[in-house]
Structure 1
Amino acid sequence: MTSSDDSLRPTGHDGAPRPVSPTSGPTDSTAGETVAGTERSATGRRAAERPVSQPTTSEPAPELEPVGGGGKTAGMWIGLILGAIILVLLLIFVIQNNVTAGFRYFGAEFDLPLGVAMLLAAIAGALVMALVGSVRMVQMSWTIRRLRKQQDKIHRATR
């Protein structure tokens, strides 16, 4: 498919002719040339390839405000609302499971409502988990303190 205007068509990197849209054909102007919908400057670069000139004003650029979730206060309120919902659900659980059950623990015998006993067991599990987590946090703080001392010693030695 060759025609008389094939020699006027711009070619791509591989030498094949590029299609020219009918609305923006090859034109020459002082600002640049438009070929197939892309504006080119006198240097032959496309508008997207040209270096962006920085403004020469002495005013600092306005700082963008971070888009956040509302800050610490919003997080606190969300936590309080979720805690209240959980407490209501636990209260409903304890009220619905009020059948007395007998328990033995290291020789001690006592009777508690089933819901209360299960709630106490969950609290005991959470306390054990918090204890294990606290021990690990203390270990990590000791390690960090020891590494910082080593880092300071190396820093002082290289001065």
Structure 2
Amino acid sequence: MSEPTNGPYSSGGPAQEPGYPGVDPVGQPMPDAAALREDGHSHPAPGFNEKGHVSGGRVSGVWVGLIATAIFIILLIIFIAQNSRRVSIHFFGWHGLFSLALTVLLSAVVGILLVAIPGSLRILQLRRALRKNVPGGMR
């Protein structure tokens, strides 16, 4: 059965289905996403990247970071709740009773610092060397 091309809801031309190029999900025609530059090459409309996807910005990066942080905190709370029993810790003649979760988390933080501090010092050393050896300095 063919679509009617005239009638109260027709534009007079062939009907276009939502989901086809040039038509939004409601069925309304969309403006061209790519405009032509003076040299004849096309470029995306503002807010779109070269593939036609909505380009991300700082706010979307912050949003993703907040979601990842919230998930990490939820997992941390679950870890602490499931490992709340007290354990005996002995270290260089010092001993005490601490929460297992606190002990493991403190060990992880110390391990991160053991890696991060020398790495940060090396980065600073390389930046100083680059400033000395590159004409005009580093910005």
Mark yes or no: TM-score above 0.5.
Answer: yes
Amino acid in structure 2 at the alignment position of 1:147: N
Distance 1:90 1:69, change over 3 A: farther
Matches within 5 A, 1:1-159: 64=44, 65=46, 67=49, 69-148=55-134, 151=135
CA–CA distance in 1 between the matches of 2:59 and 2:133?
35
Gaps of 5+ in 2: 1-37
Q: Which of the two has higher C-alpha Rg?
A: 1
Superposed CA RMSD: 2.2
Q: CA deviation at 1:63?
A: 5.0
Alignment TM-score, normalising by the size of structure 1:
0.51
SS at match of 1:73: helix
Deviations along 1:109-143, one digit per CA (max 9) or x if unpaired, are: 11111111101111111122221221121011012
Any stretches of 5+ residues in structure 1 without a counterpart?
A: 1-58, 153-159
Runs of 4+ displaced beyond 6 Å: none
In the alignment, what sits opposite 1:17? none
Question: How many corresponding residue pairs?
Answer: 92
Distance 1:69 1:93, change over 3 A: farther
2:23 paired residue number: none
User: Which whole-Å CA distance do the structure 2 matches of 1:124 and 1:69 have between them?
Assistant: 39
Identity %: 33
**Structure 2 CA distance for aligned equivalents of residues 117 and 111 of structure 1:** 10
